[in-house]
Chain A
């Protein structure tokens, strides 16, 4: 490859006093070469995002580089004045952010937000700016660009918004594009499209791209070279083939090993047992009416005639993209959402039509684990109280319930000293363990896990998945596992249900779904999984 466009040279970034470590980034060096895509990979807190923000001079307040250089076109960016930096931003180095939902000003039309880039650098007439905005929208593949230009961000899907953000970044034909987890918030099929788009634009324009991600699947799809970061340091750099194929550093190997393998669940066959939970003819329609007379009614069929059976001791995966109704379905099963019609028969009792005391009693049998370990635990309650609350509500004496909570904590791999502490004292993975202990406290027979590992880093994710599989064995649980991540589904599920727009598209054993999908939509989802080539290579290697 050619000479570096941008080089980071022994960069150290200091964190404010009181942070969990003194430096966000410590003595980090890497080059971004002309016309390459460099992936910076690492888990949360590795300093990958901070390095990217430092290039743009966009570090948060209180965080500052204290040593090293960032060389671009022979100039150290760290020595530039704010005015010079501002001139460079957007024109020479542009950035795409993680959350397309939040990255656009909700009150401004798309064309105005794109035109602003030209305005910021004093280029073109207002008329010309608008024409160029439409052209850019066309280039990033948004359907009907003139109409999209007049739209407000909330009128677009997440993928379209990310295309708009990319269009803004491309406006002034920058030499360097920094993409900070640009596909993390997107559905798997949308992610595949955006990755493809970034790849195509990079080739067409000869840009250098610095792509920040936590997902090795994405790395396998897009990277030319890779830098792996851990706790503020670069532990390994190399070409994508080298790092993915023959990782040198122990941490890289650990991360790669933690990625759920598509082949993992594929040898397994579900053991047929007696049905435990039977859902038949379930429907849920959401209506939002507007105005006094409700003229413009929006009707969403979130669950449309769903039938399914969960057998004793099995793990049933429900996969689908956002808006497929998978979460609504999970919530209907535990009656957090009231289904309109249909039955949910759990161990011979129709949950969907129970009321009052009978419903309360029946709820013990079916418990839920939620997605966001940061939001699902009451921050003002001790962990002991959070876990014991359910049993206490069902009449267990307090002392007994707390003793049980201590047992549960050790069952999920936490120390019983956690009882008296508050949720904020724990990491995301630990909190999810607490969430699992809370669900187990009522000794349920069925657990609904709604995206239970989606918010976790990949190594933590692997631990929690192992824990769930282990608990399921030991306590004879049946699991409904709702996820958008097909890799996770492949590792843990016996059978899989694929949902789209509230309907079940396909249902079958995990092995069959992955190897012989019957429906186009399932195939589409499978093709979009990032890094499939890695798995195929692994399978080939195993076969040799």
Chain B
């Protein structure tokens, strides 16, 4: 197992370097650069000012030179400097990362746990009113655009009912500390986390239901019944454990989006996370910041792919042996 993890880590590092190089080239293939955007915003478009900005940002060097410099920086974990925000990229990212991870992990946990449970319930009572209700709800969540759900949730729970705060990370200026602050953040978290989690909850539910129904028809479930086992034991020990394999795959895919997948939700709920930072950086051609965020996202995807593969090995002895 440890050998496997080490081998995979080595492979992941190589892939990460390739991704960084590819990102760098792609981003420079797009028209415009930060100097042009800044000059445009300043209203001064004379060549001299542009050239001066480019020298300052290091954009006057040739592309291979710039790339070499950037790659060298990344390898020493220096993600560069954002000239727009006047801050090191790493500092910017790490100031925003906790908020995003809090949001996306909550959404991940909610969708995984509730979606899977709903799927098990629906499959155990297939054809009943409970199954119909769960399946219909899942279809609605699956089909409705995320931003619309978010806006409607704000209108209903925040504006009309006034139960929950509609935007932000915490109550600004309240100066809460300790437990009171935790509760305040949790209150702010509910709507965006639920909104973000709904889509995947529906996907987990549908997949769990289908997978459970498939496994339920397999021979070893009949063997288990012939032993005289109780239905509940058969459901969890035999059917669910075997039905979990595709769910692990899907969870790995979703977990890979933990950093970059919340742009829309963060924007609607004014959540101060990476997603909004990335959106702004894109609009401003803030190359270093964008590349930094891409780097973190890619690292996250690779990390969760590895975790998924390890999870497979834990769940399925057949993979462990091969």
Binding site for B on A (CB under 8 A): 56, 58, 86-91, 94-95, 97, 99, 102-108, 116-117, 119-121, 152, 154-155, 165, 168-169, 290-293
Question: B55 in the interface, Cβ–Cβ < 8 Å?
Answer: no
Contact A103 B223 (CB under 8 A): yes
The reply to whether A120 and B316 contact each other, CB–CB distance below 8 Å, is no
**CB nearest to A56 among chain B residues:** B226
- From 301 to 322 in chain B, residues with beta carbon under 8 angstroms from any chain A beta carbon are 315-318, 321-322
Contacts of B226 in A (CB 8 A): 56, 58, 89-90, 94-95, 97, 169
The answer for the CA separation of A152 and B322 in the assembled complex, in Å, is 13
Q: Number of contacting residues on B, CB 8 A?
A: 29
At the interface, yes or no: B228 with Cβ under 8 Å from chain A?
yes
A291–B7 Cα distance when bound, in Å, is 8
Quick check: A291 and B228 within 8 Å, CB to CB?
A: no
- Considering only CB atoms, which chain A residue lies closest to B8 in the complex? A292
Q: Is the CB–CB distance between B228 and A105 below 8 Å?
A: no
C-alpha spacing A87/B223, complex, angstroms: 15
Bound-state CA distance A292–B11 (Å) is: 8
Bound state CA distance, A434 and B229, in angstroms?
Answer: 45
- A58, A102, A107, A168: the one contacting B241 at CB < 8 Å is A107
CB pair B7 A292 closer than 8 Å: yes
Tell me if B225 and A89 are in contact (CB < 8 A).
Answer: yes
In the assembled complex, B222 has its CB within 8 A of some CB on chain A: yes
Q: In the complex, which residues of chain B have a beta carbon less than 8 angstroms from the beta carbon of A86?
A: 228-230
In the complex, the answer to whether A107 meets B228 with C-beta atoms within 8 Å is: no
* Nearest residue, chain B, Cβ from A94: B226
Contact B7 A103 (CB under 8 A): no
* SS of B interface (majority): helix
Are B315 and A168 in contact, CB atoms less than 8 angstroms apart?
no
Q: Which of B4, B11, B222, B227 contacts A168 (CB 8 A)?
A: B227
Does A90 lie within 8 Å of B227, measured CB to CB?
Answer: yes
B153–chain A nearest beta-carbon distance, Å = 39
Residue pairs across A and B with Cβ atoms less than 8 A apart, 18 shown, are A58-B222, A58-B225, A58-B226, A86-B228, A91-B228, A97-B222, A102-B219, A104-B220, A104-B223, A105-B220, A105-B224, A105-B242, A107-B242, A116-B224, A116-B229, A152-B318, A154-B318, A169-B226
Q: Give A112's nearest chain B residue, CB to CB.
A: B237
Of chain B, the residue at the smallest CB distance from A100 is B219
List A contacts of B233 (CB < 8 A).
120
Judging by beta carbons under 8 Å apart, are B225 and A154 in contact? no
B54 within 8 A of A: no
- Give 10 nearest A-B pairs by CB, closest first: A102-B219, A90-B228, A89-B228, A95-B226, A152-B317, A120-B229, A90-B227, A120-B228, A292-B7, A105-B220
Question: CA separation between A154 and B222, bound complex, in Å?
Answer: 18
Minimum distance in angstroms from A132 CB to a CB of chain B = 14
Query: Complex Cα distance A58/B223, Å?
Result: 10
**Contact assessment for A154 and B321 in the assembled complex, using a CB-CB cutoff below 8 Å:** yes
Contact of A290 among B218, B219, B322 (CB under 8 A): B322
Chain A residue contacts of B96, Cβ below 8 A: none
| Alpha-carbon distance between A91 and B238 when the two chains are bound, in angstroms | 20
Q: A89-B225, A89-B227, A103-B222 are in contact. List 20 more A-B contacts (CB 8 A).
A: A56-B225, A86-B229, A87-B228, A88-B228, A89-B228, A102-B220, A103-B219, A103-B223, A104-B223, A105-B224, A105-B238, A106-B317, A107-B242, A107-B315, A152-B318, A168-B223, A291-B3, A291-B4, A292-B10, A292-B11
Q: When A120-B229, A120-B230, A291-B7 are in contact, do A107 and B316 touch as well, CB less than 8 Å?
A: yes
**Residues of B close to A119: CB separation below 8 A:** 229
Judge whether B223 and A97 touch: CB under 8 Å: yes
The answer for the CA separation of A292 and B315 in the assembled complex, in Å, is: 22
Q: When chains A and B are docked, how far (Å) is the Cα of A399 from the Cα of B145?
A: 52
Cβ contact within 8 Å between B11 and A117 = no
Which residues of A sit under 8 angstroms from B11, Cβ to Cβ? 292
Q: Separation in Å of the B128 CB from the closest CB of chain A? A: 14
Specify the chain A residue showing the minimal Cβ separation from B219.
Answer: A102
Task: Choose one: A56, A87, A89, A103; the contact of B220 (CB below 8 Å).
Answer: A103
Question: Given the complex, which residues of B lie within 8 Å of A290, measured CB to CB?
Answer: 322
